[in-house]
Structure 1
Amino acid sequence: MHTVSDMPERWSQASVYPDMWVDPDEDPRNSDGVSPDGELATLQDFLTGYRLTLRMKCEGLNPEQLARRSVPPSTMSLLGLVRHLAEVERDWRNWIQPENPAPELYGADDGDFKGAVAEQELVEGAFADLAREQAATDAALAEYADLGARVGKDGNSVRELWVHRIEEYARHCGHADLLRECIDGRVGQ
């Protein structure tokens, strides 16, 4: 059981804006110029930003820290989030192409979170799984230029799948903020 005195001090790597994760010039999510033109480019830009945010929240941590769970009875950890997002990327691809569904990566019954243990090989595998599943789902969605196209057995629009992905990453980046702060006190955007 943690006590208040066991909790890490809040800190940020930023010096210009100390309430940020990193200074704007160091933030890989910042780009020069105007925002992208068009709906698809905007959706892709937001998704890319959230994907980078998740990676940033995991950077510099060892396997034990990545696998550290939040508060009982929750099984949530940063590593669990990485595994979960790899699993849901695969799920979305199964929605798009339901005729040959890919099997679950980590098994049923919350295996993505429950199986997130502090082993370097498992950590490396989870990040590799996430990158592979993201690329595969991106490629599957790239086949549809019309965001209004209906896909899969449920007839979801491609637009809905893009927005759902953004929502999923955004929600879990919020979890990642809190998990990281509990691990080493680092806070920020």
Structure 2
Amino acid sequence: MPLPAPQARDLLHTRAVVYRGYRREDGLWDIEAEMSDTKTYALERSERGEMPPGTPIHGMAIRATVDDQMTIREISTAMDHTPFGECRAGVDPMQQMVGVTMGPGWRQAIEKALGGIQGCTHLRELLFNMATAAYQTVPVYRERLRRQSGVPEAENAGPPYHLGKCLAWDFKGAVVQRHYPQFADWQPVKKI
């Protein structure tokens, strides 16, 4: 369903963000994120001079190599286009994310390691959603391989991580009832 028709308008700014997930031959996974900001008009920047329309103001990329548990083993960062030369100092602090797991507490870990003036705002923004791209890549593909090989699901396994995280995957909802009936109306055991 498309958005309603807009009022007459002129395109001024485009932020393009792309995430990609790869399975590596060595058993690890690469999750890549790219972001660019462009204007449809010429822009004069004190640090970069006259910038013709379409010239990237920001052009950045991150590759996080993760294992099956989605723990970062390696991270690479590129900042080909930045508004200021000093922005490139945001590359080295990204190494603090090595050893961090993309899962519960992910955003807090990013803020702790790279928040405020410790890192680049735009790289943090890319990192936030890398966990979602990793989740769409790693466990989904591993589940596909498990099914193709005929290996049964583990007995007494808890619900998949995504259940209970959005309205479609509500434990009391129709989607869980259809796809994971064993977890319909599931509630975690309360610790005393």
TM-score (norm 1): 0.28
Higher strand share: 2
Rg larger in structure: 2
TM-score (norm 2): 0.27
Higher RCO (C-alpha under 8 Å, 6+ residues apart):
1
Higher helix share: 1
